[in-house]
Amino acid sequence: MQDPYSEFALRYDLFSDPFGQANPTEASFLGRLFDQKGVRRVLDCACGTGQHLHLMHELGRECVGSDISEAMLKQATATLWQRG
């Protein structure tokens, strides 16, 4: 099966997150929610380039990402290593 994101993976974040940062409102909401519910581990299905994985890691959560697109997973891995 052809990966429809194979060509788009490298540029995906430019369209979905042009500033390369998590939405502060979203980060605040998720941080409070996860604290209230005691969430420590997160599975991000359809993680794409890993934007939410990075956010969850910054919030102190253990994270695992999955995606049907191998190209998106490779980009997520590269992005997460780059961001630390």
Q: Which two tokens stand for residue 55?
A: 């956010």
Note the pTM of the prediction, 2 decimals: 0.72
C-beta pairs of 41-46 under 8 Å, 24+ apart in sequence: none
Domain map of the chain by residue range?
A: 41-84
pLDDT value at position 52? 87
Q: Mind listing the pLDDT tens digit of every residue in the chain (84 residues)?
A: 667 667 666 666 666 665 556 677 888 898 999 999 999 999 999 998 888 888 888 889 999 999 999 988 998 999 888 876
